[in-house]
Amino acid sequence: MSNNVKAKREPLFHIVKREDLKIGYKIMIYAIAIVVSLFLGGIMSSLASKGDPFSFFVSLIDGCFGSSRKLWVFLQQMALILSVSMALVPAFKMKFWNLGGNGQILIGGLAAIACMFYMGGKADDGVIVLVAVIASALAGAIWALIPALCKAFFNTNESLLTLMLNYIASGLVTFFLAVWVKSGSGVLEPIKYGNLPELGNPYILIILFGALITALMFVYLRYSKHGYELSVVGDSPNTARYIGVNVKMVVIRTMILSGAICGLVGLLLTSGMSHTIGVKTAQNMGFTAIMTTWLGNCNPLMIIATSSLVTFVTKGMEQVRMDFGLTNDSIANLIIGLVYFFIIACAFFIQYKVVFNIKLKKAVKATADNTVVASTEETSTEIEENEEEVK
Amino acid sequence: MSNVALELKNITKTFGSVIANKNVNLVLEKGEILSLLGENGSGKTTLMNMISGIYYPDEGEIYIDGKLTHITSPQDAFNYKIGMIHQHFKLVDVFSAADNILLGEKMPTYSIRENAKKLLETLPQESLIKEVKKGEKVSKTLDFKVLGDYALTYLKICALPFIKLGKFVQFDFLANNRAKKLQEVADKYGFEIDLNKKIYDMSVSEKQTVEIIKVLYRGAEILILDEPTAVLTPQEIKKLFDVLRKMREGGKSIIIITHKLNEVMEISDKVTILRKGEYIGTVETKDTSEKELTEMMVGKKIDLKIERTITDFDKPLLEIRNLSINGDDGSSKIEDVSFYIRGGEILGVAGIAGCGQKELCEAIAGLRKIENGAICHKGDSIVGLPAKAIIDKGISMSFIPEDRLGMGLAPNFSITDNMMLKTYNDNKGPFVDRKTARKNAEALIKKLEIVTPSTETPVRRLSGGNVQKVLVGREIEAGPNVIITAYPVRGLDINSSYAIYNILNEQKSKGTGILFIGEDLDVMLALCDKIMVLCHGKNMGIVHAGKVTKEQLGLMMTGSLDLTEVNAEKNYGIAKDSHLTEEQWEEEKEKTEGKGENEDE
């Protein structure tokens, strides 16, 4: 029957799905991936300059925790990314891909700066702050509401719309800078009026905000009816309709919330930190947060871990650049990308394991030198490492 | 040569912690029909997927024609002449049947290099110059014969590309030849099918036929059919079985996966039984009985009779008059259908797939706009009410789609979270009440014997039967007075199916009206009080389940028998003791016209 068929050899390995991976193993796999990627990063940096991989690690840690100021900055940066992630979580849980974090932050910051610019000197700082808080939240909410309405009523593609609104937001910022700055330099001098109060030092307010938002969002998603509704909409829109959830309402409501938080982050970045605004004010946090949210599996607790990792790598790399005398930031970006890539690649090893079909060889080997044959768990980790090294 | 076409030895396959197959053995002889029997989740489909190259076994060996083989891809399976007909057809809708069958067929390879090499080998070995003796004088001349041979060979080599082109043309442009060959295959096994028809014009049964011809045309010797009868009418099943018998006579080996015992008894020579992934045994069909098979399958004795509880009928609970609904694409899905359900009555709805059952369910549950007609619950119109209001009236709808998770459950949610889908908004305050839901979930798991690691397991991880128990159980916990349930036993094993039938009967005796949309006519005949048959959205008549035969239902499903026309004077689907007078009905119908659209749509 099969004369013309080439006899197939048994394949070398096959891939098997697994479901019962213990949390310890998961953490181990992630830890290995991070360490290996950083190690590779160290080698790369030392190739590009005169340093060695060990001092790379030292610089990395020094950049984040080297002094109390560095620690504060680290926490502040982490709180900012965490807050933006918290803004994205409800939208992502609803399977509404809000890629417009940047634009919402910018527009919130713009609103805050506008309040400071026009009311500065004419009203009490307290009043200005109050108005700025409301204005920035509102501005962010409106910026998110536009794609939400289009999605709800015309079923447009939300990723495209939110993405495009980013450009409109940065365009608006440029426009207002041109209007406000008479000299034409396009750089707004820091405004002295209506700045957010400093609680002891300039970092604490933002850190507190991040912690508060994370806690609130955790409760909102886990225990509130709204959180329940939006998960139903995300998981099965048909079921949501069937149980009488007003899907359009939920989409609009959630996006307003998402945009408002982004807007508040804009306020923090402007009247809380720089007291001015530029097109780069958002620091691309809208996109970084997409990654932290996604890697954190839309779970606020896991996002704390992912955003601290991302901040660690970014802040640490800044120090490395300085210490190693790397003149351009492409190597830094390369290493950050490497870490992200390794973490994403981990998902494969968490969901699947690779089983080798080497029973015969195994038996021979076992009798030959009495080596303990690696269990599948260990085998898969080994492969992971190999694979990663290949990459 | 041995007579064994396919042999599986100690096949084991696991998915994570789930053992799908454990040491399964199977022997398939040539010219034999083997039934693979087992409850849901017993690993039948996994096993077949390993034979057809979709999965690769963790352990064990597959022998084809007595030779150890490794099937690593569907292409391998095809090379070994194994053809699988899946439950969900894989056809291109806008192509004709013939195009679908010929799709992906490769042109026989024709290598110019190989042929040229062969030709070069035929070149003469002799020298081109030959010596001619003329007396003492030796003169050299060209050997024209050898030269001719040379020239001819080179000419032939030059012609090879043209031959290839010719073959290509023959393959691609003379498709008629292949169509003829197809027709031969079709005729040989007695398929009645027009191969030039487009797939989108075809009925389910015709599509299946196309799939079978496709596999046969490609030269399959071993055919695997995964639940082929689930979507067919009794007449179509009979035809299919005739074809299968013809194939058996032609020496093909067939494995058929099915749940229906009567079909196993009718068609197969041998039955192999799996239970929870384990191989239980193989028996000759002629030496066994349905009862014995069930016992082997379930592992314990079970009563196969479905009880039909007799209850006193109440006034009509749900009345539907002259209902017309459009589908998503704007085509008419339900046309002028009238029926009513009394309390304590199960009304079955029979019809081939896509005859408007889904749209009917959605319209009643308030999820779909209706074009015309009236839907009244205890005399109050429910057209245009939001879904939540309809649920509050006590109308429960559970539609089990083919993937089993679509409507009514959130697949990534835990059982607890799924339990409170309908009730989460009932308590005061901004927070959901998970405690009560967890208690309900625990009670339900206990009551319906749902197999799950915990109440917090996502429902998509549960097996089909348990998912359905969660859904049906939750619907009944809410204490509805009308239950609309579509395919509640879709893909369920015997045990779970009977659990569901029992639940429905229990509800019925409590005075609930039940609309049961089903697939298996035997079950419907046994369970329902009355059966309404739909064909392309038209009502073919409503009959008492005790007074109709399966064959009649089959004819009605395909539209060959229209009782509403035969007995035109009988007002089908109009209750004599309606809540509303005829005038009120007219009013209701007028209200619907032009309105209809649900706010939440």
Separation between Cα atoms, residue A36 and residue A237, nearest integer Å = 41
Which residue type occupies A81?
Answer: I
Residue B65, chain A, CB below 8 Å: the answer is yes
Q: What are phi and psi of B320, to 5 degrees?
A: -130, 130
What is the mean predicted confidence (pLDDT) over B387-410? Answer: 74
Residue B418 domain flag = yes
Residue A61 domain flag = no
Closest CA to B520 of B544, B548, B550, B545: B550
Q: Would you state the pLDDT for residue B301?
A: 66
Nearest CA in chain B to A228: B432
Say yes or no: B310 and B290 in one domain: no
Say yes or no: B456 and B420 in one domain: yes
CA distances B542 to B339, B357, B375, B378, B421, Å, are 8, 15, 18, 21, 35
Separation between Cα atoms, residue B250 and residue A74, nearest integer Å = 76
CATH code at B19? 3.40.50.300
Separation between Cα atoms, residue B412 and residue A9, nearest integer Å = 40
Query: How many A×B Cβ pairs under 8 Å?
Result: 108
Residue A296 domain flag = yes
Banded pLDDT at A370 (limits 50, 70, 90): very low
Domain count, chain A: 2
Say yes or no: B237 and B345 in one domain: no
- B67 to chain A: which residues are within 8 Å by CB? 2, 7
Say yes or no: A105 and A232 in one domain: yes
Residue B190 domain flag = no
Percentage of residues of chain B with pLDDT beyond 70: 89
Q: Would you state the pLDDT for residue A10?
A: 66
Say yes or no: B589 and B461 in one domain: no
Out of A270, A302, A334, a domain closes at A302
What is the mean predicted confidence (pLDDT) over B23-32? Answer: 89
Between A375 and B341, the more confident residue is B341
Say yes or no: B309 and B290 in one domain: no
Instruction: Give a three-class secondary structure readout of chain A.
Output: CCCCCCCCCCCCEEEEECCCCCHHHHHHHHHHHHHHHHHHHHHHHHHHCCCCHHHHHHHHHHHHHCCHHHHHHHHHHHHHHHHHHHHHHHHHHCCCCCCCHHHHHHHHHHHHHHHHHHHCCCCCHHHHHHHHHHHHHHHHHHHHHHHHHHHHHHCCCHHHHHHHHHHHHHHHHHHHHHHHCCCCCCCCCCCCCCCCCCECECCHHHHHHHHHHHHHHHHHHHHEHHHHHHHHHHHCHHHHHHCCCCHHHHHHHHHHHHHHHHHHHHHHHHHHHHCCCCCCCCCCHHHHHHHHHHHCCCCHHHHHHHHHHHHHHHHHHHHHHHHHCCCCCHHHHHHHHHHHHHHHHHHHHHHEEEEECCHHHHHHHHHHHCCCCCCHHHHHHHHHHHHHHHC
Out of B259, B282, B298, a domain closes at B298
Say yes or no: A234 and A362 in one domain: no
Q: Would you state the pLDDT for residue B107?
A: 64
Residue B193 domain flag = no
| A9-23, A66-80, B179-193, B335-349: least confidently modelled range | A9-23
Q: Would you state the pLDDT for residue B5?
A: 87
Out of B432, B460, B479, a domain closes at B479
Say yes or no: A84 and A37 in one domain: no
Closest CA to B38 of B53, B52, B24: B24
Residue whose tokens read 């998915």: B15
Separation between Cα atoms, residue B437 and residue B124, nearest integer Å = 91
Mutate to test the interface with B, among A238, A350, A357 (most CBs of B within 10 A): A238
Q: Would you state the pLDDT for residue A176?
A: 93
CB B215 within 8 A of CB B223: yes
CB A91 within 8 A of CB A169: no
What is the mean predicted confidence (pLDDT) over A80-84? Answer: 95
pLDDT, tens digit, for every residue of B278-304?
888 888 888 888 888 888 887 776 666
Strand B82-85 vs strand B222-226: parallel, antiparallel, or unpaired?
parallel
Say yes or no: B379 and B524 in one domain: yes
pLDDT, tens digit, for every residue of B433-466?
888 889 989 988 888 888 888 888 888 877 767 7
pLDDT, tens digit, for every residue of B99-153?
888 776 666 677 788 888 888 887 777 777 777 777 777 777 777 888 888 888 8
- pLDDT higher than 60, residue A9: yes
The answer to whether the Cβ–Cβ distance between B417 and A228 falls below 8 Å is yes
- pLDDT higher than 60, residue B596: no
CB A293 within 8 A of CB A258: no
Domain of A377, in residue numbers: 1-49+326-391
- pLDDT higher than 70, residue A1: no
Say yes or no: A230 and A103 in one domain: yes
Banded pLDDT at A19 (limits 50, 70, 90): low
- pLDDT higher than 90, residue A131: yes
CB A113 within 8 A of CB A191: yes
Say yes or no: B235 and B123 in one domain: no
Residue B152 domain flag = yes
- pLDDT higher than 50, residue A369: no
Q: Would you state the pLDDT for residue A377?
A: 40
d(CA B340, nearest CA chain A) in Å: 22
- A2 to chain B: which residues are within 8 Å by CB? 64-65, 67, 69, 79-81
Say yes or no: B532 and B597 in one domain: yes
Separation between Cα atoms, residue A329 and residue A314, nearest integer Å = 11
Residue A62 domain flag = no
Closest CA to A74 of A391, A272, A328, A307: A307
Tell me, rounded to whole angstroms, the distance of Cα B335 from its chain centroid: 26
SS3 B119: helix
- A355 to chain B: which residues are within 8 Å by CB? 58
Question: Among residues 180-239 of chain B, which lie with CB inside 8 Å of chain A?
Answer: 221
Say yes or no: A240 and A280 in one domain: yes
User: Nearest-5° angle of CA A112, CA A116, CA A122?
Assistant: 145
- pLDDT higher than 80, residue B399: no
Q: Would you state the pLDDT for residue B275?
A: 84
Separation between Cα atoms, residue B506 and residue A301, nearest integer Å = 45
Taking CB atoms within 8 Å and a gap of at least 24, the contacts of B521-526 are: B521/B234, B521/B350, B521/B550, B521/B553, B521/B554, B522/B260, B522/B262, B522/B550, B523/B306, B523/B489, B523/B497, B524/B348, B524/B350, B524/B553, B525/B550, B525/B553, B526/B305, B526/B306, B526/B308
Separation between Cα atoms, residue B502 and residue B520, nearest integer Å = 16
Residue A60 domain flag = no
- pLDDT higher than 70, residue B593: no
CA distances A160 to A167, A168, A298, B527, Å, are 11, 13, 21, 52
Between B410 and B565, the more confident residue is B410
The answer to whether the Cβ–Cβ distance between A244 and B387 falls below 8 Å is yes
ipTM of the complex: 0.75
Mutate to test the interface with A, among B61, B81, B413, B471 (most CBs of A within 10 A): B413
What is the mean predicted confidence (pLDDT) over A286-290? Answer: 92
- pLDDT higher than 80, residue A137: yes
- pLDDT higher than 60, residue B594: no
Out of B415, B444, B479, a domain closes at B479
Say yes or no: A77 and A104 in one domain: yes
- pLDDT higher than 70, residue B173: no
Residue A249 domain flag = yes
What is the mean predicted confidence (pLDDT) over B166-183? Answer: 70
Question: How does the average pLDDT of chain A come out, rounded?
Answer: 84
CB B320 within 8 A of CB B375: yes
Banded pLDDT at A303 (limits 50, 70, 90): very high
- pLDDT higher than 60, residue A3: no
Closest CA to B540 of B566, B574, B569, B578: B566
Q: Would you state the pLDDT for residue A360?
A: 47
Between B397 and B150, the more confident residue is B150
Q: What are phi and psi of A66, to 5 degrees?
A: -60, -40
Neighbour count for residue B339 (Cβ, 10 Å) = 22
Between A252 and B172, the more confident residue is A252
Residue B78 domain flag = yes
Q: Would you state the pLDDT for residue A285?
A: 92
Banded pLDDT at B501 (limits 50, 70, 90): confident
Residue A59 domain flag = no
pLDDT, tens digit, for every residue of B42-91?
788 888 888 888 888 888 888 888 888 888 888 888 888 888 888 778 88
Say yes or no: B73 and B219 in one domain: yes
Separation between Cα atoms, residue B122 and residue B94, nearest integer Å = 50
Question: How does the average pLDDT of chain B come out, rounded?
Answer: 81
Residue whose tokens read 């096959």: A14
Say yes or no: A16 and A117 in one domain: no
Say yes or no: A14 and A97 in one domain: no
Residue A54 domain flag = no
Say yes or no: A258 and A128 in one domain: yes
For every residue of B15-64, DSSP letters joined together read: ETTEEEEEEEEEEEETT-EEEEEE-TTSSHHHHHHHHTTSS--SEEEEEE
Strand B129-134 vs strand B137-142: parallel, antiparallel, or unpaired?
antiparallel
* A221: its two tokens: 């998603």
Q: Would you state the pLDDT for residue B314?
A: 67
What is the mean predicted confidence (pLDDT) over B374-392? Answer: 82
Q: Which residues does A contribute to its contact with B (CB < 8 Å)? A: 1-2, 5, 7-11, 14, 16-20, 223-229, 231-232, 235-236, 238-239, 241-244, 246-247, 355
Say yes or no: B440 and B540 in one domain: no
Q: Would you state the pLDDT for residue A79?
A: 95
CB neighbour list of residue A344: distance below 8 Å, 6 or more residues apart: A295
- H or E element at residue B516: strand B513-517
Domain of B436, in residue numbers: 404-479
d(CA A1, nearest CA chain B) in Å: 7
Residue A319 domain flag = no
Say yes or no: B22 and B89 in one domain: yes
SS3 B86: coil
Nearest to B408 among A20, A229, A239 (CB): A239
Helices A101-119 and A68-93, packing angle to 10 deg: 120
Taking CB atoms within 8 Å and a gap of at least 24, the contacts of A376-384 are: A377/A25, A377/A353, A379/A353, A379/A354, A379/A355, A380/A349, A380/A353, A380/A354, A381/A28, A381/A29, A381/A32, A381/A349, A383/A354, A384/A29, A384/A32, A384/A33, A384/A346, A384/A349
- A20 to chain B: which residues are within 8 Å by CB? 16-17
User: Nearest-5° angle of CA B485, CA B489, CA B493?
Assistant: 165
Say yes or no: A382 and A250 in one domain: no
Say yes or no: A144 and A33 in one domain: no
Domain count, chain B: 4
SS3 B319: strand
* A226: its two tokens: 């709204």
Say yes or no: B139 and B262 in one domain: no
- pLDDT higher than 50, residue A208: yes
- pLDDT higher than 90, residue A243: no
Say yes or no: A150 and A296 in one domain: yes
